[in-house]
Chains A and B, each alone.
Chain A
Amino acid sequence: MTGLIVIDRLSKRFGNLVAVDEISLDVPKGEVLGFLGPNGAGKSTTMKMACGFLAPDHGSTQICGIDIAKNPRAAKRHLGYLPEGAPAYGEMTARAFLSFVAEVRGVGGSARRTAIDSAIERTGLQSVVDQSVETLSKGFKRRVGLAQAILHDPDVLILDEPTDGLDPNQKHEVRKLIKKMAPEKAIVVSTHILEEVDAVCTRAVIIDKGRIVADGTSRELKLKLPYHNAVSLRIATDDFEKTKAALEALKGVVKVEARRGKKTSHLRAMPNGGRSIATAVAQCLTNAAVHPDELFVEHGSLDDVFHQITTSETGKTTTGETTNG
């Protein structure tokens, strides 16, 4: 099955810099793809090429089966795009701006009014529609950009950092909106806020230096962390040797990290292949008659995955920071 957006080996060079290197993506209907990467990884460049603004050096993009380079007008009709920074004509009122976009998109007559009103309502712009865009706050400007992108109810949405600069409530609203639209559309959202992926995305793609370095659901990505499902415990130092030996002997544990303290010590049992070892560890502790002060299963966060993957050259030593899940 092919998706509503099919990106095939897009590449772009700026001088000597390879900004995007053979990126391929396939986003079916109903999927919200989180497009992640550090600043300068090529997220925006990829999106600009995908929506036909930049010409790729090679590779192609199809929107609803229509090649955007060969038939840009037809492809763009199916596409809603929020450019980075949500640019808009500052001297226009929000309503006039939306009306302009609707007119260019060929939404005419009574449908235009309905489309504009619906976009205004969905993005919560009612209170500011008659103000000129340049006088609006960053959050409202972003929402005007979003309203412009969803105005014609496109099958494909490409949103470059839709929640950047919004306060937590506004972020929540925008995510709710994206989630609500998701079943009917294929949506690509770029972000560097990783919580967003857990909040709205059904799949995440991490790119670094113009290449895809990871692709999967949030859960799948977390599985890649060496300490995913690791069990951490804090015990009295008196039990240290005994516990360490017991854990090391345990089947399914590949390694035990230990930090010996004066009164209490920390141990972390690393599972083999990310399998759950919580029950086994608990059993083992009971058998050894050790009573931990603290015991938890680590899941890791996407931040850790991101950090580990995108700093891969120096990454081996930087994966130690953990957060408990």
Chain B
Amino acid sequence: MANIWAIAKRELQSYFGTPIAYVFLAIFVALTGVFAFFIGAFFDRGEADLKPFFEYHPWLYLLLVPAISMRLWAEERSSGTIELLMTLPVSAFEAVIAKFLAGWAFLGIALILTFPMWITVNVLGTPDNGIIAASYVGSFLMAGAFLAIGACISSFTKNQVIAFVVASVVCFVFVMNGTEMVLGVFRGWMPEFVVSAISSLSFLTHFEDVSRGVIDIRDIVFYVSIICFWLFVNTVVVGMKKAD
């Protein structure tokens, strides 16, 4: 446990050790605002809630979370520090968890910094703050799922650009899972239950409830299982493919 804490702390500090953190936070906060106000027509709806704000989170994460996850392992590989890290008394699993937690904490900070939205809607009307809190939790969970995918993909390569692009594509598939675009590929040659299983893996479907403020235990289980699965693969990859 102490190891996980030490690595997570170092990892989180390293985000702030470079301008990446500040650029990311500024862009994240700005974009959430842009999406909510301009594309989501926050004012025109005349309703005191943050639905237009949360609705666009999957699309934002699609672009921004891989930017956070890409360096987690790829950078260790390219600089050779993975050799240092894995010869310390640390298991691959602990390192995977620690890095994931650091990235997740960073995304949490980004989410917290969107608090002016919450204040704004409270100033303008009387929203249901319970719904908003639930949506924040849901959004944070979804960010974790994106991050787990990105971290796992980052562990395959030493090239951060590849890690970014591939993670974005895989995340995109997970977001679009419920749509005909992805399902059409499988329909016809896969049995129907597989197709419906694939469509049930959609981030979008599971986030719809969340952005309405409904936290269903199934959605939580869904995101937690996604995180566990990708972190498991991540651990296997780090354990097997330590060198090069």
Residues of chain B with a CB closer than 8 A to A48's CB: 83, 243
- Contact across chains for A106 and B14 when beta carbons are under 8 A apart: no
- Contact across chains for A81 and B87 when beta carbons are under 8 A apart: yes
- Quote the shortest CB–CB distance from A257 to chain B (angstroms): 48
- Quote the shortest CB–CB distance from A143 to chain B (angstroms): 15
Q: A54-B242, A100-B10, A104-B7 are in contact. Are A73 and B89 (CB under 8 A)?
A: yes
Most buried by B among A85, A87, A101, A108: A87
Number of interface residues of B (CB under 8 A): 22
Q: Which of B60-119 contact A (CB under 8 A)?
A: 79-81, 83-84, 86-91
A113 within 8 A of B: no
Q: A92-B17, A100-B10, A106-B2 are in contact. Are A76 and B89 (CB under 8 A)?
A: yes
- Contact across chains for B87 and A91 when beta carbons are under 8 A apart: no
- Contact across chains for A104 and B81 when beta carbons are under 8 A apart: no
Give 1 or 0 for each of A82-125: 1 = CB within 8 Å of chain B CB. 01110111111000100011011110100000000000000000
- Contact across chains for A89 and B90 when beta carbons are under 8 A apart: no
- Contact across chains for A53 and B89 when beta carbons are under 8 A apart: no
Q: Which of A119-173 contact B (CB under 8 A)?
A: 132, 148
How many angstroms from the CA of A315 to the CA of B104 in the assembled complex?
59
A72 within 8 A of B: yes
B3 within 8 A of A: yes
- Contact across chains for B84 and A83 when beta carbons are under 8 A apart: yes
- Contact across chains for A53 and B10 when beta carbons are under 8 A apart: no
Q: A103-B2, A104-B89 are in contact. Are A89 and B14 (CB under 8 A)?
A: yes
Q: Which of B3-30 contact A (CB under 8 A)?
A: 3, 6-7, 10, 13-14, 17-18
A52 within 8 A of B: yes
- Contact across chains for B87 and A87 when beta carbons are under 8 A apart: no
A79 within 8 A of B: yes
The 8 Å CB contact of A100, one of B2, B6, B91, B243, is B6
- Contact across chains for B80 and A87 when beta carbons are under 8 A apart: yes
Residues of chain A with a CB closer than 8 A to B90's CB: 73, 104
- Quote the shortest CB–CB distance from B146 to chain A (angstroms): 24
Residues of chain A with a CB closer than 8 A to B2's CB: 103, 106, 108
Residues of chain B with a CB closer than 8 A to A52's CB: 86-87
How many angstroms from the CA of A85 to the CA of B81 in the assembled complex?
10
How many angstroms from the CA of A72 to the CA of B95 in the assembled complex?
14
Residues of chain B with a CB closer than 8 A to A90's CB: 79
A77 within 8 A of B: yes
A51 within 8 A of B: yes
Q: A48-B243, A53-B242, A73-B89 are in contact. Are A83 and B17 (CB under 8 A)?
A: no
- Contact across chains for B88 and A83 when beta carbons are under 8 A apart: no
Residues of chain A with a CB closer than 8 A to B81's CB: 87-89
Q: Could you name 18 residue pairs across A and B whose Cβ atoms are closer than 8 Å?
A: A48-B243, A53-B86, A54-B242, A73-B89, A73-B90, A73-B91, A76-B88, A77-B89, A83-B80, A83-B83, A83-B84, A90-B79, A91-B14, A91-B18, A100-B6, A100-B10, A101-B88, A106-B3
Additional 17 contacts, C-beta under 8 A, given A83-B87, A87-B81, A91-B17: A48-B83, A52-B86, A52-B87, A53-B242, A73-B91, A84-B83, A89-B81, A90-B79, A92-B10, A92-B14, A100-B10, A101-B88, A103-B2, A104-B6, A104-B7, A106-B2, A106-B3
